[in-house]
């Protein structure tokens, strides 16, 4: 059902606007004003985005078919025994169209580096940071959007942002001390009842329409996540005093507003944060888990929840909370707000001697300072150069790499994205570090769900790599069995 109306105001959570709601059954429907023709144009514009994605996707699917017909047997690498025991590092086994990671340069989204995105993507009025809406368009369509196209995404996400009450009730059923990521994943699972893909699949949808239903679910889910995440934040840390959405704001700006942060530069931080955390090619745990579960034709809600369970791990997304926790403990132990580099150095050595990792440092693929770290450092220099916590992050940056390097076993001693984000958030008063991974998760939805749309339009099959037992490996090595591929 398509409703051509936008909310004049949203007095409570029951009164939000959504394509899938039967408004006739909603007493609050009278509060909606008819769409102005400019808003109508935006919605039509959005249909054009879907259409553009369809054209691009179908063209690439045809191209890939041809490419495989001609080159399908071409060898692109070999696999060493050690790699199958070591997290499949360096084995190319996945396709992800949205972004590509270079070990030296860092991430590029559709060929654009983070500094290029900061320059070229549309901005909010009066802002300098890229709008995540623009990045989503870029990942999906493969072209930089115009300001108007990014605004289309904003308006459609506003229109689809309704979260049914039972989702909030489901969150409320959890103890308030449940980790915010647990509450987040439970809320996503509660939202799954809204899946268009699941409904259409049960009704016998044709294969050629899978992408269409995945697209719609992805748009709905992305639109709803800030509301859900902000609800969890206010429930857990602000006595359940919730803040209604502001329909005039962009996706990230509105997210900041619903969490209770009105500072314009915090909204800018959210735009930057949501952009740089969105995607990191296909093999990281959250992207890979989403893709893997999606390959079973589990709908986008189920697939995204799987990705988020992976993001909640301390070696992946939870590292951002670990970093700030580690710095707080360091400051507490040394009883200083601004530890010296010598003090930091001693503390790092102590952490290592306890058999722990230095959080925020190292990466499975990157071999240089993460450009996402650098982008946040630039933001810090611009907005809060004198903040002692931010300065501590910079002092750690000068201290840790040589120490890690001296151990001789760490492939990348440089900081990753998580080494910086927490200090910026604390500057604005967001000290509740257990929540940081939820911010990461809201952003990561953009990349993994754009990726899922691509998976389905390309018709990628069920993922099912081969595994072996050590018993078989020993037989191989003893010549008692043949190694596959030999
Ligand atoms: C990200 C990470 C999981 C990558 O792991 P990886 O690909 O196995 O990294 P490496 O190949 O360089 O690891 C080699 C060794 O160095 C260790 N190592 C890597 N990063 C380390 C760090 N920051 N502090 C201490 N030791 C580290 C590994 O634990 C491993 O030790 P082991 O051989 O005794 O098991 C790892 O660097 C890490 O744990 N970092 C800290 C957590 C973090 O910041 N995660 C966020 C990632 S975006």
CA of 187 to the centre of ligand 1 (A): 31
CA of 412 to the centre of ligand 1 (A): 8
Question: In this predicted structure, what is the pLDDT of residue 20?
Answer: 36
pTM, full prediction: 0.90
Q: Does residue 17 have a pLDDT over 60?
A: no
**Residue 81 vs residues 87, 181, 466, 483, 484: alpha-carbon distances, Å:** 11, 35, 13, 11, 12
Q: How does residue 307 score in pLDDT terms, banded at 50, 70 and 90?
A: very high
Q: Does residue 35 have a pLDDT over 80?
A: no
Q: How far apart are CA 483 and CA 473, in angstroms?
A: 8
Question: In this predicted structure, what is the pLDDT of residue 38?
Answer: 53
Verify whether ligand 1 is closer than 6 Å to residue 315 (CB atom): yes
Q: Does residue 485 have a pLDDT over 70?
A: no
Mean predicted confidence (pLDDT) in 4-30: 31
Verify whether ligand 1 is closer than 6 Å to residue 413 (CB atom): no
Verify whether ligand 1 is closer than 6 Å to residue 321 (CB atom): no
> Per-residue DSSP letters for 458-472?
TT----------HHH
Q: In this predicted model, what pLDDT tens digit does every residue of 164-223 receive, in sequence order?
A: 999 999 999 999 999 999 999 999 999 999 999 999 999 999 999 999 999 999 999 999
Q: How does residue 468 score in pLDDT terms, banded at 50, 70 and 90?
A: very high
Question: In this predicted structure, what is the pLDDT of residue 237?
Answer: 98
Q: Which residues pair with 107 in a beta bridge?
A: 101
Question: In this predicted structure, what is the pLDDT of residue 484?
Answer: 65
Rounded to the nearest 5 percent, the helix, strand and coil shares of the chain are 60, 5, 35
Q: How does residue 481 score in pLDDT terms, banded at 50, 70 and 90?
A: confident
Tokens linked to 74:
């071409």
Which of residues 27 and 51 earns the better pLDDT score? Answer: 51
Q: How far apart are CA 48 and CA 52, in angstroms?
A: 6
Verify whether ligand 1 is closer than 6 Å to residue 416 (CB atom): yes
Tokens linked to 230:
């902000």
Q: How does residue 253 score in pLDDT terms, banded at 50, 70 and 90?
A: very high
Question: In this predicted structure, what is the pLDDT of residue 166?
Answer: 98
Q: In this predicted model, what pLDDT tens digit does every residue of 131-164 receive, in sequence order?
A: 999 999 999 999 999 999 999 999 999 999 999 9
Q: Does residue 24 have a pLDDT over 80?
A: no
Contact predicate 161/137, CB 8 Å: no
CA dihedral angle for residue 194, residue 197, residue 201, residue 203, rounded to 10 degrees:
50
Using a 10 angstrom Cβ sphere, with 0-12 exposed, 13-18 middle and 19 or more buried, the burial of residue 87 is: exposed
Q: Does residue 453 have a pLDDT over 70?
A: yes
Using a 10 angstrom Cβ sphere, with 0-12 exposed, 13-18 middle and 19 or more buried, the burial of residue 404 is: buried
Question: In this predicted structure, what is the pLDDT of residue 77?
Answer: 93
Question: In this predicted structure, what is the pLDDT of residue 49?
Answer: 87
Q: In this predicted model, what pLDDT tens digit does every residue of 43-99 receive, in sequence order?
A: 555 568 899 999 999 999 999 999 999 999 999 999 999 999 999 999 999 999 999
| Minimum mean pLDDT range among 25-29, 232-236, 289-293, 320-324 | 25-29
Q: In this predicted model, what pLDDT tens digit does every residue of 337-362 receive, in sequence order?
A: 999 999 999 999 999 999 999 999 99
Residue nearest to atom 28 of ligand 1 (CA): 410
Q: Which of 277, 280, 363, 420 is catalytic?
A: 363
Q: How does residue 482 score in pLDDT terms, banded at 50, 70 and 90?
A: confident
Question: In this predicted structure, what is the pLDDT of residue 47?
Answer: 67
The average confidence (pLDDT) of the chain is: 91
Question: In this predicted structure, what is the pLDDT of residue 411?
Answer: 95
Residue nearest to atom 36 of ligand 1 (CA): 362
Question: In this predicted structure, what is the pLDDT of residue 258?
Answer: 98
Mean predicted confidence (pLDDT) in 379-387: 98
Q: How far apart are CA 20 and CA 317, in angstroms?
A: 32
Using alpha carbons only, give the angle 442, 447, 453 rounded to the nearest 5 degrees. Answer: 115
CA dihedral angle for residue 439, residue 311, residue 455, residue 81, rounded to 10 degrees:
150
Verify whether ligand 1 is closer than 6 Å to residue 167 (CB atom): no
Residue nearest to atom 5 of ligand 1 (CA): 364
Q: How far apart are CA 132 and CA 278, in angstroms?
A: 8
Q: In this predicted model, what pLDDT tens digit does every residue of 318-331 receive, in sequence order?
A: 989 999 999 999 99
């Amino acid at each position: 059902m398509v409703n051509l109306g936008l909310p004049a105001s949203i007095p409570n959570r029951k009164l939000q606007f959504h394509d899938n709601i039967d408004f006739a059954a909603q007493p609050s429907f009278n509060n909606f004003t008819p769409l102005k023709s400019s808003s109508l144009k935006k919605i039509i514009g959005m249909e054009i985005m879907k259409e553009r994605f369809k054209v691009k996707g179908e063209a690439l699917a045809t191209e890939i078919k041809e490419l495989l017909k001609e080159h399908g047997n071409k060898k692109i690498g070999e696999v060493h025994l050690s790699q199958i025991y070591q997290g499949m590092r360096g084995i190319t086994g996945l396709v992800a169209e949205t972004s590509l990671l270079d070990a030296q340069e860092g991430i590029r989204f559709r060929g654009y580096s983070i500094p290029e995105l900061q320059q070229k993507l549309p901005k909010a009025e009066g802002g300098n940071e890229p709008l995540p809406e623009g990045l989503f368009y870029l990942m999906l369509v493969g072209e930089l959007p115009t300001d108007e196209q990014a605004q289309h995404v904003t308006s459609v996400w506003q229109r689809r942002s309704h979260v049914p009450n039972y989702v909030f009730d489901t969150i409320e059923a959890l103890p308030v001390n449940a980790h915010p990521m647990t509450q987040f994943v439970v809320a996503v699972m509660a939202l799954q009842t809204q899946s268009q893909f699941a409904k259409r699949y049960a009704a016998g949808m044709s294969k050629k329409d899978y992408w269409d239903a995945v697209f719609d679910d992805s748009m709905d889910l992305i639109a709803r996540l800030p509301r859900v995440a902000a609800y969890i934040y206010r429930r857990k840390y602000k006595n359940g005093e919730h803040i209604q959405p502001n329909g005039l704001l962009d996706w990230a700006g509105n997210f900041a507003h619903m969490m209770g942060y009105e500072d314009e530069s915090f909204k800018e931080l959210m735009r930057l944060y949501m952009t740089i955390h969105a995607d990191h090619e296909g093999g990281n745990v959250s992207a890979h888990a989403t893709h893997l579960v999606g390959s079973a034709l589990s709908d986008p809600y189920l697939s995204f929840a799987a990705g988020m369970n992976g993001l909640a791990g301390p070696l992946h997304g939870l590292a951002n909370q670990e970093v700030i926790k580690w710095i707080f403990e360091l400051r507490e132990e040394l009883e200083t707000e601004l530890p010296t580099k010598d003090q930091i150095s001693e503390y790092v050595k102590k952490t290592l001697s306890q058999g722990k990792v230095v959080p925020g440092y190292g990466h499975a693929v990157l071999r240089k300072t993460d450009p996402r770290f650098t982008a946040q450092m630039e933001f810090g220099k611009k907005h809060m150069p004198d903040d002692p916590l931010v300065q501590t992050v910079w002092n750690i940056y000068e201290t840790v790499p040589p120490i890690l390097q001296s151990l001789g076993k760490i492939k990348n001693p440089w900081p990753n994205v998580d080494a910086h984000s927490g200090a910026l958030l604390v500057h604005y008063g967001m000290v509740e570090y257990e929540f940081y991974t939820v911010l990461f998760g809201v952003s990561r939805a953009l990349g993994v769900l754009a990726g899922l749309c691509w998976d389905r339009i390309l018709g990628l099959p069920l993922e099912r790599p081969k595994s072996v037992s050590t018993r078989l490996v020993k037989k191989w090595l003893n010549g008692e069995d043949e190694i596959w591929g030999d």
